[in-house]
Chains A and B, each alone.
Chain A
Amino acid sequence: MTARVGVVLFPGSNCEHDVVEAVEALGGEATIVWHGAPALPGIDAVVLPGGFAHGDYLRPGAVARFSPVMAAVGDFAAGGGPVVGICNGFQVLTEAGLLPGALQKNSGLKFLCTMVSVRVESTNSVLTSAAESGQVLRIPINHFEGNYTCPADTLAELRDQDRVVLRYVDNPNGSTDSIAGVCNEGRNVVGLMPHPERASDALLGSEDGQVLLRSLLAHVPALR
């Protein structure tokens, strides 16, 4: 059975179709889920895509966490369901308390839209299980608020529990400990600033994002 990925569309999301395309190209099924949906019927995995949910007003993700679908996403995550937040989706997950830390303005105060290299630090997550530890992936970033920050005790916990899943090879935005992606304690909720869906075809300049999305798709039957 193919994995059915629900891609949440908030008002202001703008990467949902890219995620759908990339998932379908890898043989998965993808369906767009409106943010007002009260439930996630028949969904095997959830992706919160990039964009500017609710205009990013107040703070990125601050209003999106109160969208009706987020209660269902929280329940789904609590039940072990795979949830991935890409870029703005990562910001939403931190605001919703599903991932630790916060994403601040980039240290250089520039909006960064560029290809970066990230290193797979842990293969023990729903997004990195098909990758190799230490593997370097070329994946684009596209953000103003991607500077990952967290209290010192949280950082120690993330390191001790092997929960930093991706690090920048050259830290582009001032992120604490060069963190590009983290997972929750259950390792089924992952947030990352780079856009794997934009590195899912040679025509886009890199196919390196495929291994991450393939991990997500492969992980679903394992859960059943």
Chain B
Amino acid sequence: MSIFPVLVEVRLRPGIADPEGATVERALPTLGFAGVHGVRMGKAIRFEVEAASEDDARRTAEELCLRLLTNPVIEDAVIEVSPPPGDAR
């Protein structure tokens, strides 16, 4: 078994209104940031998964996202599984 660091980015699904992102975007020009578009707010969640392989770790993370970390009605997730620390790959 190895420990795999996982980073999950929880995003609002395309087409779901994002009032928080829209507010940030509207504030940007007043701060002098011109030409910044498409601001979407989300969440980043880090954890470690003990698993036999990277594939197993990914499967666990996927199930965790589906059951708890996202609400599939409005959100989806991008999952990034890293090699175990110290793994010389």
A-side residues, CB < 8 A to B, are 58-59, 62-63, 66, 94-95, 100-102, 104-109, 147, 149-151, 174
A95 touches B20 (CB 8 A): no
B17 touches A104 (CB 8 A): yes
Q: How many Cβ-Cβ contacts under 8 Å join chain A to chain B? A: 36
In the complex, what's the smallest C-beta–C-beta distance from B65 to chain A, in angstroms?
12
In the complex, what's the smallest C-beta–C-beta distance from B23 to chain A, in angstroms?
6
Q: Decide yes or no: A151 and B73 within 8 Å by CB, A58-B68, A62-B68 being known contacts.
A: yes
In the complex, what's the smallest C-beta–C-beta distance from A67 to chain B, in angstroms?
13
Taking CB atoms, residues of chain B closer than 8 Å to A106 are 19
Taking CB atoms, residues of chain B closer than 8 Å to A66 are 68
A107 touches B19 (CB 8 A): yes
B73 touches A102 (CB 8 A): yes
A62 touches B71 (CB 8 A): yes
Q: Which of B43-89 contact A (CB under 8 A)?
A: 68-69, 71, 73-74
Q: Is B16 an interface residue (CB 8 A)?
A: yes
B19 touches A58 (CB 8 A): no
How many chain-B residues does the 8 Å CB contact rule pick out? 10
Taking CB atoms, residues of chain A closer than 8 Å to B73 are 94, 100-102, 149-151
Q: A108-B19, A149-B73 are in contact. List 6 more A-B contacts (CB 8 A).
A: A58-B69, A95-B71, A105-B19, A105-B20, A149-B17, A174-B19
The prevalent SS among residues of A at the interface is loop
B-side residues, CB < 8 A to A, are 16-17, 19-20, 23, 68-69, 71, 73-74
Taking CB atoms, residues of chain A closer than 8 Å to B19 are 105-109, 147, 174
B74 touches A109 (CB 8 A): no
**Chain A to chain B: the 5 pairs with minimum beta-carbon distance, closest first:** A102-B73, A102-B74, A109-B19, A107-B19, A102-B71
Taking CB atoms, residues of chain B closer than 8 Å to A95 are 71
The answer for the CA separation of A109 and B26 in the assembled complex, in Å, is 14
Q: Max chain B CB contacts within 10 Å: which of A102, A107, A150?
A: A102
Taking CB atoms, residues of chain A closer than 8 Å to B68 are 58, 62-63, 66
B16 touches A104 (CB 8 A): yes
A-B contact pairs, 12 of them (CB 8 A): A62-B68, A94-B73, A100-B73, A102-B73, A104-B17, A106-B19, A107-B19, A108-B19, A147-B19, A149-B74, A151-B73, A174-B17
In the complex, what's the smallest C-beta–C-beta distance from A55 to chain B, in angstroms?
15
Taking CB atoms, residues of chain A closer than 8 Å to B17 are 104, 107, 147, 149, 174
In the complex, what's the smallest C-beta–C-beta distance from A95 to chain B, in angstroms?
7
Taking CB atoms, residues of chain A closer than 8 Å to B20 are 105, 109
In the complex, what's the smallest C-beta–C-beta distance from A110 to chain B, in angstroms?
10
Taking CB atoms, residues of chain B closer than 8 Å to A94 are 73
